[in-house]
Structure 1
Amino acid sequence: MRDPPTLVRLDRFLVSSDFLVTFHSLEQRLLGKSISDHNAISFINDSCLWGPRPFKFFNYLLNEVGFEDMVISNLQNVSGGRRKMGALKVLKSAKAAIKEWSYNNTKLDGNSVGALEKEINNLELL
């Protein structure tokens, strides 16, 4: 609200000395711009194992060609003709099938996205 206005955006974070003592192996890294107009700052703690990545389901999968057929096929394979089966077995099987199907049908893999982000970053530097 100054006249003239300040048109600079600073990316910062504040931490206490107690935080730094607790997480002594913590590193800060500047991430690529990707879809934003600024670089994100990330804290990385490579010495900490967080366990397996959680399963995420994205709604766009519902509109992908072949997704519904894959789910129906998976349910038929899990049931094996039986009428009753445990919900946990159904969900675990569906999770595995969705992960595999999604991995095999990805239009842009992680390497392609990373390469595109690097190319965008190089163009911005020029």
Structure 2
Amino acid sequence: MNCMTLNIRCIGEEAKIKWVRKLKQVHKANFVGIQETQITNFERIDVNGCWGSLDFDFEGVNSSGDTILANIYGPHSLGEQKRLWHELSAIKEAKPGNWTIFGDFNVVRRAEERFNSNFCPASAKHFNKFIQETELQDLRMGGEIYTYMSRVGAKLSKIDRFLACSNFLSAFRSLAVTAHPRELSDHSPVTLISTSSDFGPPPFKLFNSWLLQEGFDYIVKKAWAEFHGYGNLDAYLAAKLRFLKNEIKVWKKKSDEKANQEILKIKSEVAGIEKAAESRLLSDQELEARN
């Protein structure tokens, strides 16, 4: 089972829907937990767009989840946090199973999980007590050091994570938790990958948007005119279409490489700024460039 958690504002924006769908597809996620505190009507979320197909089911809950796969958005105040830990402990005790609890807990476990951000020893103490008493394990995370970076002041913290019980770890022995770069959210998407599957190369698909890209008309006309074949009409047409498909694939690859170079350049600049924020305060110019 592959899981992903992401706290993201304005999930209704098309660019963010596409980003979630891309993350789900790239990491082959079987379960996606999204925390969006600004939306109370879950029907406003384009779940189909986020998932990328009709082969799914979903449920929306407010702030907590009564399920073996628990998607959490933790409160900020200490009192509400203690109440949540108590309720989760009771639910877990009443419902044995392969538990994994993940999401934005809005609390860290130790001081070094914050940078340029206030550490609350009491919140950490009660969070660690909850983890110990429920016999959960904080799965080791690779990738980004901090999973959250505030838009104002560049405050960093590791508040998104996966917690799993021993039953879950026994059922899924090969696990990898990774915090990925923050792109369209102030939180990192965090994935839990247990297996990898290879279904071979993806089938060729031609999208309407390609028709509007520079060079598409030219490559189609060029390939159609340059093809030389033989055989009966059916075989000739099939061979010509295969030739056209391969030429389009070559053109698309080059076109994507050019676009990706520009995207990677921007991402590299932003990543450099965020990496610098882990060891020093950012200048106003750097904060403006990041945003």
Q: TM-score per shorter chain, which class?
A: 0.5 to 0.7
Gaps of 5+ in 2: 1-39, 41-74, 77-102, 105-159, 283-291
Query: Which structure has more strand as a fraction of its residues?
Result: 2
How well do the aligned residues superpose, as a CA RMSD in angstroms?
3.9
* Aligned counterpart, 1:96: 246
Given that 1:32 and 1:118 are in contact with CA atoms closer than 8 Å, whether structure 2 keeps it comes out as no
Going from structure 1 to structure 2, the CA distance change for 1:54 and 1:26 (only over 3 Å counts) comes to farther
Counterpart position of 1:68: 217
CA offsets, 1:8-39, max 9 Å, x none?
Answer: x8255676766644542231110101223321
Change (3 A) 1:54 1:19: farther
**How far apart are 1:61 and its partner, in Å?**
1.7
SS at 1:85's partner residue?
Answer: helix
Segments of structure 1 that go 5 or more residues without pairing to the other structure are none
TM-score (structure 2 length as normaliser): 0.32
Asked if 1:52 is matched to 2:212, the reply is: no
2:151: which partner in 1?
none
CA contact (8 A) 2:229 2:239 kept: no
Question: Shift in Å at residue 66 of structure 1?
Answer: 2.0
- The answer for the alignment partner of 2:13 in structure 1 is none
> Are the structure 2 counterparts of residues 66 and 48 from structure 1 closer, same or farther at C-alpha, using a change threshold of 3 Å?
closer
- Measure how far apart 1:82 and its partner are: 7.2
Taking only the aligned residue pairs, the percentage that are identical comes to 30
1:42: which partner in 2?
191
Query: Quick one: distance in 1 between partners of 2:165 and 2:207?
Result: 37
Aligned length: 120
TM-score by length of 1: 0.61
Structure possessing the higher relative contact order (Cα contacts under 8 Å, 6 or more residues apart): 1
| Aligned counterpart, 1:108 | 259
